[in-house]
């Protein structure tokens, strides 16, 4: 979903209005009456707001978006904030008090406003809205449509390749399981197009009866096309028809004494029955639906989502949205569902564990976006209600596990606070490590951990760029990594500010409360020099973690300015926690180093020649077979290649001669 549904109808305010582009939407930005904040500022905006549907943004004095909301009538909705009273929740009162400016855009309908609001919340992530965390893309099954023999593939990302996409699946495991089953049932290939093009005899997949081998003509084009059609029918919910068709063909082959063919259909029927019979939650009355259930405990929320397609359970995923404690379960569920489908296909049926206030409006918006009728409601009876109850139970159990893990993590963080004499419980821990072989392919790695464990989406790698460094100079590499990391942090977030979660986009703030460095006093001194140069001396807690004698785990020495070097008892839980952090940093750094080294090993000499892009490189390799053969070619042979001029041929020849 994009912002395009909002056909903007800017309110005319010639004396003060200033349109400002934000994405695809032109916002009306009205200059605030003064440098004040709060209800008085909002009241001034109300005088110029239209009585039309639209979306509004509330911002603080720094220009940060505090809240994005939609309204059927902008004037009436914002007027409620202007009164400054009657807002029982502390969240709303704080939001009003911080508001220094507002922007708005009108839409043709409230439905368009709803879609635009969801899109903006996901993009801007205002701290007073309900926010989805860990909203990773879902994997799909792609049945390719750009090849004479379509293949089945696991697919993520933009749908740029031609073909049919089926999903979403909750995780890659669910996709792999389904593809394996489809291979056994329909014998569709899963190899790459290049592998397919170079086959002269059937591969192992054909030998184990998981591919019909169209690459070598073991099956006719017509026969393979029939298998592809059956696969499409299965993935669009026609599994019972396919089962009947297989049964009829098995019976017919048996009657004709063609027992080999009958055995093939028998095996495919067994595989199909296995797929239909092992789905955990296996509904009889649901063909295509997403089921959402919300559970709240201890001020935290969990929303469990189950995906059903073709009458099968295609997996589930638990989400833990960030929401103020003043929200109730219905509000959180409504906000979550409206944002969830911003970039995902919408099924025909959406089942909920709660009756939400705007279910009819959401159904109308989803129908408009999906291009087919979408039903959205809380079931009251029958199998659908039972499934929602089961999904709700999963949400409760998932939140229980998370709370238990959080309690354990909090104890470990408290241990770090005590051991290193920190003023507060660390909410963001950064751990740094370097990796190289004799100074080559040197990289630095940073991992991040917090109250919820490792935050892998915030890991960072640093390719060491300083050419003046002595190969293997760990101190110099650490200086470069910290200079780049904290210079950028200063540029993006200014001087170290408050770490209150209300002022952060997520539970983990941008500034670290504790930095662990792989190394002893020397590495720590190098880092402290960098921090002093950046004006951050004493503002970040730095600790060097040196391996003990003979690099034995458990005998680490810790170095921190103002404290004598020390070790922890061998069985101290805090020591185990630090070891886990250090090992994860080492794993990440060495993995990054190996990937860089492999990339350099596979680098093609043609990449080094100016003017050789992907098209010319591909043409040269197709013509000569390898870069080595290109290097041996004469200028007269090079100019024969499409796209290679006389000047380019001479440049290529000179490159390899030198």
Residue 221 burial class via C-beta count within 10 angstroms: exposed 0-12, middle 13-18, buried 19 and up: exposed
Task: Express each pLDDT in 132-189 by its tens digit.
Answer: 877 677 888 899 988 989 999 998 877 888 998 887 887 787 788 788 878 888 889 9
What is the architecture of the domain spanning 429-598? Answer: 2-Layer Sandwich (3.30)
CATH topology of domain 17-124: GIY-YIG endonuclease (3.40.1440)
Residue with the larger pLDDT of the pair 78 and 2 = 78
Domain 289-400, CATH 3.30.70.330 — does that match? no
Distance of alpha carbon 311 from alpha carbon 239, whole angstroms: 9
Q: Greater confidence, 351 or 267? A: 351
Window from 140-149, 303-312, 368-377, 491-500 with minimum mean pLDDT:
491-500
Helices (H), strands (E): how many in the chain?
20, 20
Fold of 605-657: DNA polymerase; domain 1 (1.10.150)
Domain extents in the chain: 17-124, 140-277, 289-400, 429-598, 605-657
pLDDT of 215-242, one tens digit each?
Answer: 998 999 999 998 898 888 777 766 667 7
pTM higher than 0.95, yes or no?
A: no
Q: Can you tell me the distance from the alpha carbon of 501 to that of 523, in angstroms, rounded to the nearest whole number?
A: 31
Higher per-residue confidence, 514 vs 656? 514
Token reading at 76:
């009436």
Same fold, 17-124 and 605-657: no
Q: What is the pLDDT of residues 94-112, one digit of tens each?
A: 888 888 888 888 899 999 9
CA distance 120 to 114: 10
Closest CA to 378 of 395, 365, 369, 391: 391
CA-to-CA separations, 209 to 173, 393, 611, in angstroms, rounded: 22, 40, 47
**What is the band of 351 on the pLDDT scale with cuts at 50, 70, 90?**
very high
What are the pLDDT digits (tens) for 567-586?
Answer: 898 888 899 899 999 999 98
Q: Which residues of 114-131 are buried (b: 16+ CB within 10 A; e: fewer)?
A: bbbbbbbbbebbbbbbbb
CB burial class (10 A; 0-12, 13-18, 19+) of residue 543?
A: buried
pLDDT band per the 50, 70, 90 thresholds, residue 608: confident
What the block records as the tokens of 304 is: 């469990």
Instruction: Quote the pLDDT of residue 353.
Output: 94
pLDDT at residue 256 is higher than 90: no
Express as a percent the part of the chain with pLDDT over 70: 85
Q: What is the mean pLDDT of the chain?
A: 82
Pick 145 or 311 by higher pLDDT.
145
pLDDT in tens, 13-54: 333 334 444 445 555 555 554 567 788 888 888 888 888 899
Q: Are 211 and 226 in contact (CB under 8 A)?
A: no
Residue 392: pLDDT over 90: yes
Band (pLDDT 50/70/90 cuts) for residue 255 is: confident
């Amino acid at each position: 979903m994009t912002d395009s549904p909002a056909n903007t109808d800017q309110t005319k305010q010639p004396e003060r209005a200033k349109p400002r582009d934000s994405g695809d939407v032109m916002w009306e930005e009205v200059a605030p009456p003064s440098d004040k904040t709060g209800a008085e500022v909002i009241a001034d905006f109300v005088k110029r707001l239209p009585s039309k549907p639209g979306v509004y943004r509330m911002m603080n004095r720094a220009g940060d978006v505090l809240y994005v909301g939609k309204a059927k009538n902008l004037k009436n909705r914002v007027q409620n904030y202007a009164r400054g009273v009657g807002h029982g929740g502390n969240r709303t009162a704080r939001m009003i008090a911080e508001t220094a400016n507002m922007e708005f855009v009108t839409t043709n309908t409230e439905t368009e406003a709803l879609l635009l609001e969801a899109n903006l919340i996901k993009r801007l992530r205002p701290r007073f809205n309900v926010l989805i965390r860990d909203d990773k893309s879902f994997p799909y099954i792609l049945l390719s449509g750009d090849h004479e023999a379509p293949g089945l593939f696991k697919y993520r990302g933009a749908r740029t390749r031609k073909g049919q996409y089926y999903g979403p699946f909750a995780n890659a495991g669910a996709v792999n399981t389904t593809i394996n089953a489809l291979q056994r049932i329909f014998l569709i290939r899963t190899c790459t197009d290049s592998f397919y093009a170079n086959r002269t005899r059937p591969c192992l997949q054909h030998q184990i009866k998981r591919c019909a081998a169209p690459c070598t003509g073991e099956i006719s084009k017509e026969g393979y096309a029939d298998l592809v059609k059956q696969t499409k029918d299965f993935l669009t919910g026609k599994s019972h028809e396919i089962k009947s068709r297989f049964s009829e063909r098995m019976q017919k082959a048996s009657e004709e004494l063609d027992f080999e063919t009958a055995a093939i259909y028998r095996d495919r029927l067994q595989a199909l029955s296995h797929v239909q019979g092992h789905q955990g939650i296996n509904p009889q009355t649901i063909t295509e639906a997403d089921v959402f259930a919300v559970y709240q405990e201890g001020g935290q929320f969990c929303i469990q989502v189950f995906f059903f397609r073709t009458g099968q359970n295609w997996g589930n995923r638990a989400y833990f949205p960030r929401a103020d404690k003043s929200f109730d379960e219905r509000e959180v569920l409504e906000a979550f569902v409206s944002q969830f489908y911003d970039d995902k296909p919408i099924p025909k049926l959406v089942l909920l564990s709660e009756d939400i206030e705007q279910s009819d409006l959401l159904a109308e918006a989803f129908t408009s976006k999906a291009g087919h009728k979408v039903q959205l409601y809380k079931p009251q009876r029958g199998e659908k209600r039972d499934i929602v109850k089961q999904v709700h139970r999963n949400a409760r159990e998932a939140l229980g596990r998370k709370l238990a893990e959080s309690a354990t993590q909090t104890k470990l963080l408290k241990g770090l606070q005590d051991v290193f004499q920190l003023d507060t419980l660390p909410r963001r821990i950064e751990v740094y490590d370097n990796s190289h072989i004799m100074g080559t392919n040197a990289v630095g790695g940073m991992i991040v951990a917090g109250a919820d464990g490792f935050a892998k989406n915030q890991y960072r790698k640093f390719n060491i760029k300083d050419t003046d460094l002595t190969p293997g100079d760990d101190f110099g590499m650490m200086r470069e990594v910290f200079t780049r990391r904290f210079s950028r942090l200063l540029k993006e977030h200014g001087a170290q500010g408050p770490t209150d979660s209300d002022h952060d986009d997520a539970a983990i703030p941008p500034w670290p409360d504790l930095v662990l460095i792989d190394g002893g006093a020397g590495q720590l001194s190098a880092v402290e020099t960098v921090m002093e140069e950046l004006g951050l001396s004493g503002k970040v807690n730095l600790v060097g973690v040196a391996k003990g004698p003979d690099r034995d785990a458990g005998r680490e020495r810790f170095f921190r300015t103002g404290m004598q070097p020390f070790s922890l008892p061998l069985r101290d839980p805090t020591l185990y926690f630090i070891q886990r952090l250090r090992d994860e940093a080492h794993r990440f750094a060495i993995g990054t180093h190996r990937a860089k080294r492999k990339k350099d090993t596979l680098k093609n000499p043609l990449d080094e020649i100016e003017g050789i892009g992907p098209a010319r490189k591909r043409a040269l390799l197709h013509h000569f077979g390898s870069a080595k053969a290109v290097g041996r070619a004469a200028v007269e042979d090079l100019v024969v290649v499409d796209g290679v001029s006389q000047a380019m041929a001479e440049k290529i020849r000179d490159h390899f001669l030198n």
